[in-house]
Structure 1
Amino acid sequence: MEFVTTGDGSATLYHPEVGEHYHSKHGALQESRHVFLHAGLQFFLEKSAKSEVSVLEVGFGTGLNFLLSADYALQQHIHLRYCGIEAFPLAEDLLFQTGYDRFVDPVIWQALEENYAAALQNEVQYSDGVRLAIAHQKVLSFASSEQFDVIYFDAFAAVHQPEMWTDETLAHVCQYLRPGGVFVTYAITGNLKRSMKALGFSIEKAPGAPGKREMLRAVKK
């Protein structure tokens, strides 16, 4: 693992075994904000006018998507329940070297430092109005009695992890999304669009983050 500075000055990690970076080389921070926070969480909240929201993330990784979502929830006085699925969690010492503390309220960052290890075991009350759980397992082993409002699908690209983008994996994940819920990912391919349509989603080609022309947003009918 090695840190790489991306186009917007924020850091990402390069995973040598997978052969890919955790975030876009064009800008880790701006990709996370654009694809997941703006096109996912904020989009859902604007159309639903809810004050409570739940997010399921496939690929917790460096925690950047969670940090930005928790920071936004804190600012907007929204109750957030967040569950990340991560088969290979980063070690604490590596996670805390990302420098993402520069982009969120200090309360949010400190809470991650204090609760990351515990969240890998059970859901924790992360901060006022925010709960966090990290499911330390492979995605097809994930099971929950809960339903979620938004899915952040942030797996490594299909060229490196094709098993994460199969019909089986997508169907397994999307069963936990409520009707009217929003699925967002940085990718958009013909196969992905066909899979999501077959699962009963209306799909949209949304503008992509820098470096990508388009991304996929889908709403469960």
Structure 2
Amino acid sequence: MHVFIAAGLLPLLEQKSVNILEMGFGSGLNPLLTLIESEKSDHLIHFETVEAYPISLDQASQLNYLSQLNRGDLKDIFLKFHTAQSGELVRHGHFSFAKHLTKLEDAHFETKFDLVYYDAFSPLDQEELWTPEIFIHITTFLNPGAILVSYCCKGTFKRSLKAAGFQIEKIPGPPGKREMIRAVYP
């Protein structure tokens, strides 16, 4: 909520529509929280995510997000996030979703994005996802003024973003983390 919704999505809701690219679908929490936020207004939110190593449907069905959020009514759409074929468009109200089962460096999109949720494993675990080349690749899919948010605040990450042309802002992090990054692509 703090990193991706509060620092990323909410500042963009003055726009009528927002296109979001997420690196790291993982458990599906970020699209679920974004869908819930989309229900609060009539904003159109289009969400595309990249995941090279998806969790199994069995693992997804064991997650307790829906009970924690008191949103059992979203069970079908949450499971659809996990069962959708690569590139398949899923709709729910003002929210549309597509998952791409590929590596980020191999991903290509027709959509231009306003916001990037960069939720990859840390640079210590997946160094290849934090290079200048990856962020330069991402810029080819961005609208002018697009925002990238991440929990990461490592120096190598900031240098990679700067090399790709982003302007960096350190902002307060979520509980337990002093700061995080919000970057703007001019």
Percent of aligned pairs sharing the same letter:
36
Select the residue among 95, 118, 122 that pairs with 2:88. 122
Question: What RMSD in Å do the two structures reach over aligned CA positions?
Answer: 1.5
- The equivalent residue for 1:147 is 112
TM-score using structure 1 length: 0.79
Structure 1 gap ranges (5+): 1-32
SS, match of residue 76 in structure 1: coil
Question: Is the CA contact (8 Å cut-off) linking 1:71 and 1:105 kept in structure 2?
Answer: no
SS at match of 2:96: strand
What is the alpha-carbon distance in structure 2 between the residues aligned to residue 211 and residue 38 of structure 1? 16
| Equivalent pair of 2:148/2:184 in contact (CA under 8 Å) | yes
**How many Å separate the matches in 2 of 1:77 and 1:105?**
19
TM superposition shift of 1:77: 2.3
CA distance in 1, matches of 2:112, 2:85: 19
Residue 77 of structure 2 corresponds to 111
Distance 1:211 1:115, change over 3 A: closer
Contact 1:184–1:217 at 8 Å: present in 2 too? yes
**CA distance, structure 2, for counterparts of residue 205 and residue 85 of structure 1:** 25
Instruction: Supply the AA of the counterpart residue of 1:34.
Output: H
- Work out which of the residue numbers 16, 27, 37 in structure 1 matches 2:5: 37
Q: Do structure 1's residue 187 and structure 2's residue 152 form an aligned pair?
A: yes
CA offsets 1:153-208 (integer angstroms, 9 cap, x no match)? 00000111111101111211232121111100000122222222232222110101
Deviation, 1:54, is 0.9
Letter of the 1:35 partner, please give it.
V
**Where in structure 2 are the equivalents of 1:1-221 lying within 5 Å?**
33-45=1-13, 49-102=14-67, 103=69, 105-114=71-80, 116-125=82-91, 127-221=92-186
With normalisation by structure 2, the TM-score equals: 0.93
Equivalent pairs counted in the alignment come to 185
Distance 1:104 1:129 in 2: 20
SS in 2 for 1:184: strand
**Unaligned 5+ residue runs, structure 2?**
none
Cα shift at 1:121: 4.5
Structure 1 residues 177-186 or 198-207, which shifts more? 198-207
Distance 1:122 1:166 in 2: 29
Flag the structure with more relative contact order, 1 or 2, with Cα contacts below 8 A and sequence separation at least 6: 2
Take 1:220 and 1:211, find their aligned partners in 2: how far apart are those partners? 28
